[in-house]
Amino acid sequence: MSETRKTDAVRLHRELDEIWHTPRGLQRLAAVNHTILGRRFIIAAFVFFSIGGILSMLIRAQLATPNTAFVGPEVYNQIFTMHGTVMMFLFAIPMFEGFAIYLLPKLLGARDLAFPRLTALGFYCYIFGGSILIVAMLAGVAPDSGWFMYTPLSSSTYTPGINADVWLLGITFVEISAISAAVEITVTILKMRAPGMSLDRMPIFAWYLLVTAGMMLIGFPPLILGSILLELERAFDLPFFDPTRGGDSLLWQHLFWLFGHPEVYIIFLPAAGAVSTIIPVFARRELMGYRAVIVAIVAVAFLSFGLWVHHMFTVGIPHLALAFFSAASALVAIPTAVQIFAWLATLAHGRPRFDVPMLYIFGFLFVFVLGGLTGVMLAMVPFNWQVHDSYFVVAHLHYVLVGGFVFPMLAAAYYWLPHVTGRLTMHKISVPAFWLIFVGFNMTFFMMHLTGLRGMPRRVHTYPSGVGWDWLNLLSSIGGFILTMGFALILVDIILQFRFGKPYRRNPWGARTLEWAQPNPPPSYNFASLPLVDRRADTLDPHAIGNELAAGNGYLGFARNGWQETLGVDMTTGRPDQTIVLPNRTFLPLYTAIAIGLFVLCLLFKFYWLSLVPLAVTLLLCLAWTNVTGLRHDHGELDIGNGISVPPHYEADGPPSWWGMVFLLACNGTLYASLIFAVFFLWLVAPGWPPTELIETGLILPLMTVIAVVGAALLSRMAVAANAGGGGALPLILCAAGAHVVTVGLLLFLINTALPEPTSHAYAATAFVTLAYTAIHSALGIVFALYGAWRIMNGFVSARRSLDLRIGKLWHDYTALTGVAGIALILVMPLIVAIQGGGQ
């Protein structure tokens, strides 16, 4: 680099860092920067992993020998429940989120994620929710019904304390983080890539993350609904899962596994994305079958939603239905195999070189393929019946999850850690650490296949001597401690790398993706200017690109107005279509998470009326987020460099926040569809139907409700149209708010007068929830409409700046759609219940 260019680069660095950096001290709590938050997610997930690991050591200590009195059954129940819960909800998902949050903008050539404040909110919700669970464990009231919390064991009859509430509320709190990450990842990948990065040029990791985030939007809502329903049952006696009052405990299993099985692939796919990124680097050739791999991950994503009943093969479902799920369970092995063969072919056609990340890739391939094969065995119904709830299943799930997530994530950690630290790994410890983990893992879990086949059930706190399980369990326990030593060595290795690793400037592995075009550790703004991508984004030359970008020769190679600017692009072609101005650091996400946390704690300790206070504070804080968004005047197009100008995002057609609302509503719609499923499932399958008392609404009130809620949506649409025409939106949007007020009033009247007592029967309880769902959405519709009116009155809305109204329109449309469906369901249910009750 010439001296002048170097000076320019340094000046540009200073200007941009002044805008993007986060000061030390208390200001760190206000951080919204994705690099900081990604690192925090990863560190927090590793802490929770350590807690889960200690719990697993307690389990292995207890089971090392027969008839052990180390811990009693009550404590043991809490230990294994918390081990599973921590590993699945507080380690695996957040670890993947952390990787995605840290890496994604760097891979895509952006300066941050689409919603930086949402990232921060997600982080604090994760930490607070996880802390509730850990504190409960330390207080001796941890969940103790197993990580999948089956009813009726987790119902108040059999778990009367707050143990199950801790799980239901704590995990739902944590899932705010998962949903926000999913929205964030989806929008960022679709809208915030580097100019020129069309879909066919995206790095393969981005495809994996896109598909995974889409799966999260569809996969998590059934569990959120299930948790809400179970908490309503426990707190207010609404009998969704109580078979004596028209409920069914199998409904919980369906809702849980509708989430639970896709969850396995939600964990696996990002790890596979890391593998697909790392192998080409060390094979020194492009990934073979790029397009076939994309099709394979789409196929895995869909098929994974058709497998959930293979966790329920023994509950008495018709054999034909079992055949559907058995076939789909076996089928999912094919697209998984497509990926494995693509990796093998890449290695076979390349010039592989061996390094520490490749050791863990080898471990991944060995362990995961074994887990996949036992998965196909478990997909076969007769075999599944034989080993159901035995240690064979424990062995299988650890081979799949540790093989499919932990080994690739360790490969990823060794591969990307130099990016975080700016230092190279001290390889002396990492190799023995790998072998300890590999040997320890296989010794621990391979034995469990055998104990399972010899009939040892899961979740027993001890077992008798002399039934052929003794030496296998002892070997498992010894293996478990070897495994732990391996992880301890990795921790030491990472600390050593931070302290003594050899500094380097850029791209130590000879990688060809954009994140290595940055100096390491990365600057606060990621790229001094944004790159033009003119080929596949995993075939680039980071050295050459890095120098050009640092000199400001890409897009947005300047600082303007103190704005945190990055680019928005067309979804498919990657053509720039907007300048996205991101919000600066703020304490609002922290305050909002604290308010939500207080709400959760109020519910946990059953201060239901008091919980309305933090709920109201949460709403006010969410409104306060909008203080810094938008402008009071039209701005027009902004120069982004290289002779191109694009509008700011609040004047563009499809800004990130609009798409964010679209994906959030898709997620919400899945929750609603799960509720509809629950209604029909109980009608068809649950005992105790038909109910003795049916809803008597007549037609007038429901029709008035439909008119009001649809009217609100139409008025909102008219407001948007009027605004586009140059004015007159204010009275229309105020009328929309009024229509929502009428809707809420009518729904409350219906709930109070037409519904049977919701605690009397699951029919009444589901009807109550269906109407309450629309009432809550309509109440929020009032907020959206009044907010739109406030923005109009304060000059934030014009024909060109209509984003506030258009986002509101999405909400009003959704409320109308689900409201009409809900009212129709309420009207139809008495008719179909009269035809036939279920469960007979």
Contacts of 621 (CB under 8 A, 6+ apart): 588, 591, 592, 595
Q: Does 821 bind another protein (CB under 8 A)?
A: no
317 vs 6: CA distance, rounded Å = 70
Contacts of 416 (CB under 8 A, 6+ apart): 99, 102, 103, 515
Is 438 in contact with 363 (CB distance < 8 Å)?
yes
Q: Does 321 bind another protein (CB under 8 A)?
A: yes
Return the range that interacts with another protein (CB under 8 A); candidates 127-135, 153-161, 237-245, 569-577: 569-577
Residues between 682 and 711 with contacts to another protein, criterion CB under 8 A? 684-685
Please, how many CA atoms are within 13 Å of residue 478, restricted to the half-sphere of its CB? Answer: 9
Judged by CB under 8 A, the residue of 199, 779, 786, 799 near another protein is 199
Q: Which is nearer to another protein, 194 or 406 (CB)?
A: 194
Q: Does 318 bind another protein (CB under 8 A)?
A: yes
Q: Which is nearer to another protein, 219 or 758 (CB)?
A: 219
Q: Which is nearer to another protein, 683 or 784 (CB)?
A: 683
Query: Would you give the binding string for another protein spanning residues 288-317, x where CB under 8 A is met?
Result: ---xx-xx--xx-xxx-xx-----------
Q: Does 656 bind another protein (CB under 8 A)?
A: no
Q: Which is nearer to another protein, 320 or 700 (CB)?
A: 320
Judged by CB under 8 A, the residue of 389, 534, 653, 693 near another protein is 534
Q: Which is nearer to another protein, 248 or 493 (CB)?
A: 248
653 vs 801: CA distance, rounded Å = 10
316 vs 770: CA distance, rounded Å = 29
Closest distance between another protein and the C-beta of residue 412, in Å? 26
Residues between 328 and 357 with contacts to another protein, criterion CB under 8 A? 328, 331, 335
Q: Does 327 bind another protein (CB under 8 A)?
A: yes
Is 1 in contact with 9 (CB distance < 8 Å)?
yes
Q: Of 742, 643, 647, nearest to 701 (Cα)?
A: 742
Return the range that interacts with another protein (CB under 8 A); candidates 189-197, 219-227, 469-477, 478-486: 189-197
Q: Does 645 bind another protein (CB under 8 A)?
A: no
SS3 639: strand
Contacts of 461 (CB under 8 A, 6+ apart): 62, 71, 72, 73, 76, 77
Return the range that interacts with another protein (CB under 8 A); candidates 29-37, 198-206, 366-374, 750-758: 198-206
Closest distance between another protein and the C-beta of residue 5, in Å? 24
Q: Which is nearer to another protein, 190 or 556 (CB)?
A: 190
Q: Which is nearer to another protein, 327 or 623 (CB)?
A: 327
Is 274 in contact with 415 (CB distance < 8 Å)?
yes
Closest distance between another protein and the C-beta of residue 532, in Å? 7
Closest distance between another protein and the C-beta of residue 755, in Å? 25
Closest distance between another protein and the C-beta of residue 339, in Å? 13
Closest distance between another protein and the C-beta of residue 541, in Å? 16
Is 695 in contact with 760 (CB distance < 8 Å)?
no
Q: Which is nearer to another protein, 70 or 341 (CB)?
A: 341
Question: Sign of the C-alpha dihedral, residues 192, 335, 255, 78?
Answer: negative
814 vs 105: CA distance, rounded Å = 31
Q: Which is nearer to another protein, 99 or 205 (CB)?
A: 205
Q: Which is nearer to another protein, 212 or 564 (CB)?
A: 212
Closest distance between another protein and the C-beta of residue 257, in Å? 14
Q: Which is nearer to another protein, 299 or 741 (CB)?
A: 299
Closest distance between another protein and the C-beta of residue 254, in Å? 11
Degrees to nearest 5, angle at CA 85 with 82 and 90: 115
Q: Is residue 76 exposed (0-12), middle (13-18) or buried (19+ Cβ within 10 Å)? A: buried
Closest distance between another protein and the C-beta of residue 62, in Å? 40
Q: Does 575 bind another protein (CB under 8 A)?
A: yes
Whose structure tokens read 């469906």? 821
Q: Does 834 bind another protein (CB under 8 A)?
A: no
Q: Does 554 bind another protein (CB under 8 A)?
A: no
Question: Sign of the C-alpha dihedral, residues 237, 242, 247, 248?
Answer: positive
Tokens of 222: 């059934």
Residue 771: phi and psi, rounded to 5, are -70, -40
Q: Does 532 bind another protein (CB under 8 A)?
A: yes
Q: Does 319 bind another protein (CB under 8 A)?
A: yes
**DSSP class per residue in 294-333:** HHHHHHHHHHGGG-GGGG-TTS---HHHHHHHHHHHHHTH
Residues between 760 and 799 with contacts to another protein, criterion CB under 8 A? none
* Integer-rounded Cα radius of gyration of the chain: 27
Q: Which is nearer to another protein, 123 or 663 (CB)?
A: 663
Q: Does 587 bind another protein (CB under 8 A)?
A: no
Tokens of 146: 């197993």
Question: What b/e readout covers 36-64, taking b as 16+ CB neighbours within 10 angstroms?
Answer: bbbbbbbebbbebbbbbbebbbbbbebbb
Q: Which is nearer to another protein, 190 or 559 (CB)?
A: 190
Closest distance between another protein and the C-beta of residue 321, in Å? 6
Return the range that interacts with another protein (CB under 8 A); candidates 343-351, 570-578, 738-746, 752-760: 570-578
Q: Does 84 bind another protein (CB under 8 A)?
A: no
Return the range that interacts with another protein (CB under 8 A); candidates 168-176, 236-244, 286-294, 707-715: 286-294
Residue 656: phi and psi, rounded to 5, are -55, -40
Catalogue the long-range contacts made by 581-585 (C-beta closer than 8 Å, 24 or more residues apart). Answer: 581/648, 581/649, 581/650, 582/111, 582/112, 582/116, 583/32, 583/116, 583/117, 583/628, 583/629, 584/32, 584/628, 585/22, 585/27, 585/30, 585/31, 585/32, 585/33
Closest distance between another protein and the C-beta of residue 81, in Å? 30
Contacts of 636 (CB under 8 A, 6+ apart): 647, 651
Closest distance between another protein and the C-beta of residue 840, in Å? 8
Closest distance between another protein and the C-beta of residue 828, in Å? 14
Q: Of 705, 727, 716, 707, nearest to 784 (Cα)?
A: 716
Whose structure tokens read 């509950």? 315
Tokens of 420: 């975080």
Residues between 657 and 686 with contacts to another protein, criterion CB under 8 A? 680, 684-685
Closest distance between another protein and the C-beta of residue 571, in Å? 4
Q: Which is nearer to another protein, 324 or 504 (CB)?
A: 324
From residue 229, alpha-carbon distances to 132, 261, 457, 598 in Å are: 20, 20, 30, 21
Tokens of 297: 């991950």
Q: Of 732, 706, 702, nearest to 808 (Cα)?
A: 732
Q: Does 573 bind another protein (CB under 8 A)?
A: yes
Is 325 in contact with 374 (CB distance < 8 Å)?
no
Q: Does 320 bind another protein (CB under 8 A)?
A: yes
Judged by CB under 8 A, the residue of 200, 541, 653, 696 near another protein is 200
Total of chain residues touching another protein, rule CB under 8 A: 42
Closest distance between another protein and the C-beta of residue 517, in Å? 18
Q: Does 222 bind another protein (CB under 8 A)?
A: no
Q: Which is nearer to another protein, 327 or 491 (CB)?
A: 327
> What residues make contact with another protein under the rule CB under 8 A?
190, 195-196, 198-200, 291-292, 294-295, 298-299, 301-303, 305-306, 318-321, 323-324, 327-328, 331, 335, 532, 534, 570-576, 680, 684-685, 836, 838, 840
